[in-house]
Amino acid sequence: MVVVNNLYIFDRHCECIFYTEWNRTNSPLAVEAEAGRGSKDLVRGNQVLTGDSSSSRSSLDGQRPLVWPTTSSSTTHRVSAESLRNVAMEEEAKLVYGVVYSTRNIINKLNSKDSSQGGNPGGFTSFATNTYRLHYYEAPTGVKFILNTDVGTTSMQPVLEMIYRNIYVEYVMKNPLFRIDPKVSTPIENDYFRAVLNNYIREISSAAMPTS
């Protein structure tokens, strides 16, 4: 069984336009919810979860996962009604992108495929630590997907490509309400995208997949 921890989506401006998590401890999203409510309760949509019921930080039990970022117009999946900005989460997104950007560029240079146009000509797909494996997929449009799993999981490139082509393109790019501004980053707040993505992650998490 694959353990999927979280997913980041970055746009061409290197901004995190979507983040969600399924299995994680010490999450900045949980910290924000606690600070906003002044307690150990988490807010997921319109449902309040007590500290006891949310201690596992797993949303694969049928709960909708927490997501970030949100705007004042978002009515579902909001992390905190009192605070829509999470500085800790913003800093984490920058750190994650910085690590991936540097690693990708080093691999490009080592393979003598460094390009002034950017991209991923060196073929960087993943790296592993002793606690997790990071998987990277860069779409032709420049959108970048970063998925963290348990360390024993092998290539998730087919999964990330599936998320991009069959979920992101279908429910975000083809959504007439999603405005693509070449100069401004726009958070993904499509409930259909979130629902289909969550169902797909639950599906692959419950299925047997090859491990190293």
Q: DSSP readout, 121-140?
A: TT---EEE-SS-EEEEEE-T
* Token pair 């639950």: residue: 202
* Cβ neighbours around 118 below 10 Å, total: 14
| Closest to 165 measured CA to CA, from 176, 174, 155, 156 | 174
Whether the CB-CB separation of 78 and 43 falls below 8 Å is answered with yes
- pLDDT, position 114: 62
pLDDT, tens digit, 9 for 90 and up, residues 181-210: 777 788 898 889 999 999 999 999 887 555
| Closest to 134 measured CA to CA, from 86, 102, 90, 166 | 102
- The CA distance from 46 to 148, in Å, is 27
* Token pair 């490009």: residue: 108
Whether the CB-CB separation of 71 and 189 falls below 8 Å is answered with yes
- pLDDT, position 166: 97
- pLDDT, position 87: 72
Distances (CA, A) of 80 to 29, 40, 46, 73, 143: 9, 12, 11, 13, 27
Which residue stretches of the chain have pLDDT < 50? 36-57, 59-62, 72-84, 212
- The CA distance from 35 to 33, in Å, is 5
The residue type found at 174 is K
Q: What is the largest CA-CA distance in the chain?
A: 53
- pLDDT, position 39: 39
Is pTM, for the whole model, over 0.85? Answer: no
46: its two tokens: 């319109």
Q: Which helix (H) or strand (E) holds 88?
A: helix 87-110
157: its two tokens: 């490139």
- pLDDT, position 171: 94
| Closest to 70 measured CA to CA, from 194, 160, 171, 182 | 194
Whether the CB-CB separation of 58 and 23 falls below 8 Å is answered with yes
